[in-house]
Amino acid sequence: MSSPVFDKVAIIGVGLLGSSIAHAVKAYGGAAEVTLWDVSEDVRERAGKVVPGKVCETALDAVSGADCVILCTPVGVLTEVTALIAEGLLPGAILTDVGSVKARAAEDMAAACPETVYLIPGHPIAGTEKSGPEAGFASLFQEAWHILTPTKADAAYLEAVGRLTAFWRGLGAKVETMDPLRHDRVLAITSHLPHLIAYNIVSTAYDMESVEEGEVVKYSAGGFRDFTRIAASDPTMWRDVFLTNKDAVLETLGRFSEDLAALQRAIRWGDGDTLMKEFSRARGIREAIIDAGLDTAEADFGRRHIDPKSEG
Amino acid sequence: MSSPVFDKVAIIGVGLLGSSIAHAVKAYGGAAEVTLWDVSEDVRERAGKVVPGKVCETALDAVSGADCVILCTPVGVLTEVTALIAEGLLPGAILTDVGSVKARAAEDMAAACPETVYLIPGHPIAGTEKSGPEAGFASLFQEAWHILTPTKADAAYLEAVGRLTAFWRGLGAKVETMDPLRHDRVLAITSHLPHLIAYNIVSTAYDMESVEEGEVVKYSAGGFRDFTRIAASDPTMWRDVFLTNKDAVLETLGRFSEDLAALQRAIRWGDGDTLMKEFSRARGIREAIIDAGLDTAEADFGRRHIDPKSEG
């Protein structure tokens, strides 16, 4: 374990990401002390039982004396949360976040962040479909990209970016910096649209489930099941993502719908060549992802790890 | 291992499913002898090395003397393949298939199937995204549903359905019978639409990949990656599925597009309540799938089994 980058890291919002950061700091270092606070009394109580670090009763208690404050709330409340802790932030402290949208997140935090604090928005490309303080685990950030979207370029600010980079590298992440608008455009296709589509197909199926008398669930192993996993992600977090990355999501969704209309037309007119061409392209991008080490080639679709002894 | 249901099972088409049946019969029984044939000489040669059973040089050799013939080809060639083997089929033999579309499959096979043969279309709800004779494995059908869509109801026919049911149960499957049109409607939402959507989003991303300079692949862990796995499935098989289950797929796709338009409108107008309501519903159907034992609750989204030592 290397020497701590920060004396005290304060985590505001103790869901999957907040609790994972606490576990990761305990496992890999990065801060001498960790404090946590969540707006929900119930979450604070549960966090006290399972998350390493000191759970505080108020947000100001948590950030008091912290040289790094990490906001792990839905992006829709970043301004509000920043305002809540602003007076307690140490001059020279770093304020960062883990939100999936960066342009609006930067603006929202900047609106309430004191000038004396280094505001460095961030986003770990890591997660599971689970939520809540019990969902966190130390290795979540291992091998995952962590994107920082710096807002300034002076020497003192860049030194702070260096410290935050060292912190995340210590937790196992691969850190990159990126323009926030570019981040939001890339994530719109790699993350936001996939989630929207997954939520939508599950919703469509939900309405058909009553018509088909339970058979949608029963025969879900044919592909549908995989969408329900993604669609089990936290609704509040995702609502805020779509509301705050509206432009990039609508632009990407427009392209998706155009492409889908072309496939629909090919099906209606029996145009097998077009279908074949489009379906074959998909294999190329899958291979690129496997080549980049971002997934395993191991077959997973059949979920053969389900215990055969559980046969009903 | 129980006593064989069939003397000789002939498998026509040696891809993921054909080779898996051969492996499963070797592991769990069901037939005293297995023969295989594939239209591709290359596939026949590869099958000879890795798939248990006798790989024949012609389709007629393979079906000669077989009391059960299983067509494991794309659904688009079922008529052609049935015609190819028709003269070699034993009176009283069973002819079945594994196609994902059942109404058209039944018609297509019936067009060329002798009256003396029991035609019993079938569909195992099992698979992986892999293709080819090397992709097969014995446990693929364990715990999976296998749907039969019988075309007759006389005593001799039902006795044949009973034998085929016993065969699939022996390989570990849970067998149900179903009306073919109902099958096609249920599978349109549980399997066909999910694959179409996955192919489409990968295609949309492919076109954006050049704009975003490789960053779509790089940051694919945010959700997109999970779609590429499904979209890696065999293009020929899926082209045929969409062309032969056109009506049910277009109907389901229409519902999906309407629902997506409603979400799009909610995003554009900042209607967080609608988004929240739709996203929350999705959790319910996910829980139903886990409760039905069709998936594990274990988090998978982060793919934490990737070897941390492979960091670049």
Predicted confidence (pLDDT) per residue in B86-120, tens digit? 999 999 999 999 999 999 989 999 999 999 999 99
Query: Distance (Å) from the C-alpha of residue B17 to the closest C-alpha of chain A?
Result: 12
- Residue A224 located in a structural domain: yes
Alpha-carbon span A303 to B296, nearest angstrom? 9
Domain count of chain B? 2
Chain segment B211-249, per-residue pLDDT in tens: 666 888 888 888 888 888 888 888 999 999 999 999 999
The last residue of one of the domains, among B147, B178, B209, is: B178
pLDDT in tens, B5-44: 999 999 999 999 999 999 999 999 999 999 999 999 999 9
**Contact between chains at A221 and B296 (C-beta distance less than 8 A):** no
pLDDT (0 to 100) of residue B303: 40
A309 located within any domain = no
CATH code of the domain in which A29 resides: 3.40.50.720
Please report whether residue A308 resides in a domain: no
Kindly determine whether residue A135 and residue B299, on different chains, have CB atoms separated by under 8 Å. Answer: yes
CB contact under 8 A, B252 and A208: yes
Check whether residue A189 and residue A166 sit in a common domain: no
Say if residue B151 is in the same domain as residue B53.
Answer: yes
ipTM of the shown complex? 0.88
Residues A25 and A174 in one domain: yes
User: Do B95 and B209 belong to one domain?
Assistant: no
pLDDT of residue A209: 73
Q: Do A201 and A174 share a domain, yes or no?
A: no
Domain final residue pick, A146, A178, A210: A178
Three-state DSSP state, B28: helix
User: How many Cβ pairs within 8 Å bridge chains A and B?
Assistant: 390
AA identity, residue B71: L
What is A115-162 written as a DSSP string? TTSEE--EEES---S--SGGG--GGGGTT-EEEE--S--SHHHHHHHH
Judgement on whether residues A196 and A110 belong to the same structural domain of the protein: no
Average confidence (pLDDT) over B279-283: 85
The pLDDT value given to residue A298: 65
Residue B218 and residue B117 share a domain: no
pLDDT the model gives residue B216: 85
Would you call B219 and A259 a contact, using CB atoms and an 8 Å cutoff? no
Percent of chain B topping pLDDT 90: 77
Q: A186 to chain B nearest CA, in Å?
A: 6
Asked whether residue B197 is assigned to any structural domain, the reply reads yes
Mutate to test the interface with B, among A289, A296, A309 (most CBs of B within 10 A): A289
Most B CBs within 10 A among A216, A286, A287, hence the mutation to make, goes to A286
pTM of the model: 0.88
Residues of B in contact with A15 (CB under 8 A): none
What percent of chain A has pLDDT above 90? 77
pLDDT at B211: 67
Contact B125 A249 (CB under 8 A): no
In a domain, B40, yes or no: yes
Contact: A204, B275; criterion CB under 8 Å:
no
Check if the beta carbon of residue A157 is closer than 8 Å to that of residue A150. Answer: yes
Which of these three, A161, A178, A195, is where a domain ends? A178
DSSP conformational letter for B4: P
Q: Nearest-CA distance from B61 to chain A in Å? A: 31
Which domain covers residue A123, as residue numbers? Answer: 6-178
pLDDT for position A222: 81
In a domain, A306, yes or no: no
How confident is residue A3, by pLDDT bands cut at 50, 70 and 90?
Answer: confident
Q: Is residue A297 part of a domain?
A: no
Model confidence over A220-278: pLDDT tens digits?
Answer: 888 888 888 888 888 999 999 999 999 999 999 999 999 999 999 999 999 999 999 99
Residues A202 and A110 in one domain: no
Do B14 and B114 lie in one domain? The reply is yes
Domain match, B140 and B199 both: no
CATH number at residue B282: 1.10.3660.10
pLDDT (tens digit, 9 = 90+) per residue, A152-195? Answer: 999 999 999 999 999 999 999 999 999 999 999 999 999 999 99
Q: Given pLDDT bands bounded at 50, 70 and 90, which one contains residue B2?
A: low
**Same domain flag for A281 and A223:** yes
Q: Quick check: helix, strand or coil at residue B220?
A: helix
**Which pLDDT does position A57 carry in this prediction?**
97
Q: Are B156 and B94 in contact (CB under 8 A)?
A: no
CB spacing of B275 vs A242 below 8 angstroms:
yes
Mean pLDDT of chain B: 91
Residue found by looking up tokens 């409108």 in the block: B265
Q: Are residues B173 and B198 in the same domain?
A: no
Q: If you search the block for the tokens 């590869």, which residue do you land on? A: B46
The pLDDT of residue B298: 65
A281 inside domain: yes
